[in-house]
Structure 1
Amino acid sequence: MTERSTSRQITSRGVRVGVAIVNWNSQDMLDRALEALARQTRTPHRVVVVDNASKHFRAAPVAPANTVYERLSFNSGFAQGNNIAVKLLGECDWIALVNPDAFLAPDWIERMLEAAATEVDYAFFAGKTLIEADPSLLDGAGDIYHISGITWRRGYRQPDVNAAERIEVFGPCAATAMYAKDAFEAVGGFDEDFFCYVEDVDLAFRLRLAGYRCLFVPDAVALHVGSGTTGGQHSPFSVYHGHRNLVWAYVKNMPGGWFWLFLPLHLAMNVAACALFVLRGQARTIARAKRDALRGLPLMWRKRVSVQRGRVVRATDLLRVMNMALLPFARMTPAAPASKNKHDE
């Protein structure tokens, strides 16, 4: 079993990039995000904004000319909203996901396409996000996945200078990410049962199992507010969805013997998370998250069967792009050099 080798164009000319944005009650930030897209040195082929039944919504005063708005009568969540947006993008070669609270540098699309043209072994890409309130600090430089099932943004709140080179990472934070459309569709896009949070990690895991690789592109830069509409990382909404979905992502995707070998770590991580949020006064929220995670296990196990059936990489190869540290939150841990290819070993 081997990682997929892409056969896409080695030039960015004529390549079409569609941009998907899912909005929910974030009009001011959306206006700024679309204005940044309008200033791109490489014009997107199409921009689709899916609005999840915001209380107040209007077209942005400044946006790319080919921007399409799709207003929903319900809150579809981030996962389903992006799947809807991708379908509405129509024919394109690459899908760029941009959160309403992410503001791209003018050359973001151009830099991503340059990376895709020169690094043809990669099918999805992580941009560098800086904390909007303090751009000297990283918001993220790709996602890290620990063998226990914990995931976090690489380099979070570290100095920007610490993320200056292209490097292979487990996956991107979907606040600013680019995916080959054929790869995205091959694995079925986002899992809509996740609603939001960890859905990008789940997607990255499935892409990995299908043989696709992810590259961090340090010169594709954006400012990111982070949890701009969900009340922050420790809000009840964020804690519930994040900690429910961590369980589901592990159950669906951790392959073969690694599932059982690392299961004690996964269980210990869940116990530790419960204890932490009890101490923070969020006992009810974390209990509900883990209860609903358990209730969803039969469905996730059925999905696991399908996901694992489609795996084309060796389970041992996945460890190369996972974090195995005894102290999980070791920062800036690289998965592998960008130039390293399985065939080079």
Structure 2
Amino acid sequence: MEALESNIPKASIIIVNYNAAEWLVRCVKSVLMQTEQDFECFIVDNGSTDGSIATLPSLDKRFIIMELGENTGFAAANNTAAKLAKSPWLALLNPDAFARPGWLEQLLKASSTAPNITMVGSTQYLALSDKPTLDGVGDCYHFSGVAFRAGYGKQIEPPKAGLVFGPCAAAALYHRSKFLALGGFDERFFCYHEDVDLAFRMQLSGGECLQSPNAIVDHISSGISDKVPEFAIYHGTKNRIWTFFKNMPWPLLILLTPFHIAANLAYLGWAVFRKGRFKPTLRGIMDGIKGLPQTFRDRKFVQKNRIISSREMIKKFTWSPMKVVTRGIHIRKLF
């Protein structure tokens, strides 16, 4: 039994790559420099056409390269690796995120804070910024169904450890058994907002997310540019709608749906004045609505696994609209 257990690594790192040749080697080298070396690492290639995998150096047996041959999406690629992972913990790392040496060690340390910690978020800095600038300190969820990465763009010290709604999946730790029991990332989402959706389901099932100030990564982040790709706008809009209607408990769904509709109309109105945003926002809303019948079918499984009350769930939301607008930090005290 001891020999069998010794073959189980402390963490299974998953890097999902799609045409990230410019950054992938640096990402993998950051994994090699970890103070915690007891890991396995899946590098899952989503049908890249830029020769990403060929840029990698020779790697030891802890690294498993999986070439899927097509772009299955961020959600499906992570799920594929998660099913093969051996460790109790899944450490997700984007190919444009570079882990500082103590990143994995600190994530694992944070996971032992309490038995119901099923997610741990990293402190993310913008890799291309001249000054230390936060890329995010956890994902927050406003009661209207708008999620945001807290602290983005702020040049401040990261907050102390505390509870947040969920981690940004660019650099996050998940309890593998819980991840799989809840179905992993929703593959309908393809990419964007799938981490918020998973965090919502984990919260409903009694899990919590600890935001660690010591597990640090430097992230290139698509958010550094004023021009967000239409692809991201479309999927983010569509998936925001599906997340809300799939996960919100019935009493809150009835109460908060008008606010969610208002939030989406506000995004659409704002998009009118931003070049290239209106069409993908409108298309995302329309496809989000078209997909609601399947979303409500999926909702049955989600609510079946819910163990906390609507009252308890309310406490996990962000209620200040100013925090949404300013990317304000909302970290709840530890137990």
**Pairwise same-fold verdict (TM > 0.5):** yes
Q: Structure 2 matches for 1:94-173, cutoff 5 A?
A: 94-134=89-129, 136-161=132-157, 163-173=158-168
CA contact 2:111–2:210 (8 Å) conserved in 1:
no
The answer for the alignment partner of 2:286 in structure 1 is 291
CA separation in 2, counterparts of 1:52 and 1:331?
31
Is the counterpart of residue 23 in structure 1 residue 17 in structure 2? yes
Structure-1 residue corresponding to 2:332: 336
Aligned to 1:11: none
**What code does the residue aligned with 1:299 have?**
Q
In the alignment, the residues of structure 1 paired with residue 325 and residue 317 of structure 2 have an alpha-carbon distance, to the nearest angstrom, of: 12
Say if 2:151 is the partner of 1:187: no
Moved more, 76-85 or 276-285: 276-285
The ranges of structure 1 where at least 4 consecutive aligned residues each deviate by more than 4 angstroms after the TM superposition are: 62-65, 230-233
CA contact 1:18–1:44 (8 Å) conserved in 2? no
Matches within 5 A, 1:260-299: 260-281=254-275, 282-299=277-294
Alpha-carbon distance in structure 2 between the residues aligned to 1:325 and 1:184: 30
- Cα deviations across residues 37-75 of structure 1 (Å, max 9, x unaligned)? 001111142101110111123251165541111111210
Deviation, structure 1 residue 94: 0.5
Encode CA deviations 1:281-300: one digit per residue, 9 max, x unaligned. Answer: 33222221111111100000
Matched, 1:315 2:306: no
Mapping for residues 71-82 of structure 1, pairs under 5 Å: 71-82=67-78
Q: Which moved more, 1:304-313 or 1:210-219?
A: 304-313
Measure how far apart 1:81 and its partner are: 0.7
CA change 1:227–1:322 in 2 (3 A) is same
Unaligned ranges ≥5, structure 2: 1-7
What are the within-5 Å matches in structure 2 for residues 36-115 of structure 1? 36-55=30-49, 56-59=51-54, 60-61=56-57, 63=59, 65-89=61-85, 91-115=86-110
Residues 232 and 244 (structure 1), Cα distance of their counterparts in 2 relative to 1, 3 Å cut: farther
Contact 2:116 2:208 in 1 (8 A): yes
Are the counterparts in 1 of residues 83 and 180 from structure 2 also a CA contact under 8 Å? no
> 8 Å contact 2:148–2:327 — kept in the other structure?
no
Matched residue SS, 1:336: coil
Which residue does the alignment assign to 1:6? none
C-alpha separation in 1, matches of 2:9 and 2:15: 20
CA RMSD of aligned residues (A): 1.9
Question: In structure 1, what is the Cα distance between the partners aligned to 2:75 and 2:241?
Answer: 17
Deviation string, structure 1 residues 115-160 (Cα, Å, up to 9, x no partner): 1223333111001000111251110000010011111111111124
For structure 1, the residue ranges without an aligned partner over 5 or more in a row are 1-13, 341-345
Question: 2:41 corresponds to which letter in structure 1?
Answer: V
Q: Are 2:205 and 1:210 aligned?
A: yes
| AA matched with 1:316 | R
Say if 1:127 and 1:47 are closer, same or farther in 2 by CA, change over 3 A.
same
CA contact under 8 A between 1:104 and 1:222: conserved in structure 2?
A: yes
Q: Which amino acid aligns with 1:283?
A: F
Q: Who is 2:216 aligned against?
A: 221
Q: Pick closer, same or farther for the CA change 1:51–1:231 going to 2, 3 Å.
A: farther
* Structure 1 residue 85 displacement after superposition: 1.5
Mark the CA change 1:312 to 1:133 in structure 2 (over 3 Å): closer, same or farther: same
**CA contact under 8 A between 2:35 and 2:102: conserved in structure 1?**
yes
Letter in 2 for 1:69: I
Cα distance, 1:275 vs structure 2? 1.0
Q: How far apart in 2 are the matches of 1:118 and 1:297? A: 38
Which residue of structure 2 lines up, in the alignment, with residue 240 of structure 1?
234
> 1:265-314, CA deviations, whole angstroms, 9 ceiling, x for partnerless residues?
10001111111112213322222111111110000011112211211001
1:50/1:81 contact within 8 Å kept = yes
Paired with 2:328 and 2:38, the residues of 1 have a C-alpha distance of 31
Q: Which residue number corresponds to residue 198 of structure 1? A: 193
Distance 1:100 1:302 in 2: 34
Alpha-carbon deviations, 1:147-200, whole Å to 9, x = none? 111111111111241x23001000000000001111111211000000000000
Distance (whole Å) between structure 1 residues aligned to residue 231 and residue 257 of structure 2: 26
